[in-house]
Amino acid sequence: MTKKQRAETVMTELEKLYPKVPIPLNHNDPFTLLVAVALSAQTTDKKVNQISPKLFEVAGDPFKMKELEVDEIKYLIKEIGLANTKAKNLKRMAELLVERHDGMVPQTFEELEALPGVGHKTASVVMSQGFGVPAFPVDTHIHRLMTLWKLTSGKNVVETEKDAKKLFPRTTWNKLHLQIIFYGREYSPARGNKENDFITKMLFEK
């Protein structure tokens, strides 16, 4: 198979498996999505979804979030990794959203990435899932599988994102990146049994 044929096979098989893909992180609007994605760094989506309801009940918008002390935010998110840093970032993020954007989540990569705790991947998720702007956020599942499927050199997530955007039609990006994540979790975990990873077998069977 050529690289293009492998990419087409991946899209076809993932569409069969996941014709509809929910956004893994529970949220109510762009702000709560932004917060949830920022919290998910080095933490499972499942854990974020467990702790986020209480946080959003107390501080579901930037105006309420900025009024909390860092220690109060930390207490609400204490069960997830890097709680200290994330609490500081959330408070400052909320302050800047109010000061610079009237409490609204900005809709450009540049403005999002200027916020504390918001890197390119987080901004990409918010742009794609919050605002419907075509983006291809690359997480560890996508980076690993794109490398495994020989659709990228696999040097780093930046290169993987560039390669994905070249290979896959722009109209598929927002859905496809979620499909790959779901496939990685279900069929090809980073650690554990990969016997069920039928796409990889299909791509490289002799």
Q: Which residues are catalytic?
A: 121, 139
At 198, list the tokens: 């039928």
Q: How many CB atoms lie within 10 A of CB 95?
A: 15
User: Is residue 116 within 8 Å of 96, Cβ to Cβ?
Assistant: yes
Tokens 């929910």 sit on residue: 22
Which residue is listed with tokens 């529970």?
A: 26
User: Alpha-carbon Rg of the chain, whole angstroms?
Assistant: 18
C-alpha–C-alpha distance, residues 117 and 122, integer Å: 9
Residue among 109, 97, 117, 114 nearest 29 (CA): 97
Question: What sign results for the dihedral spanned by CA atoms 127, 133, 137, 142?
Answer: positive
The CB density around residue 147, as the number of other CB atoms within 10 Å, is: 16
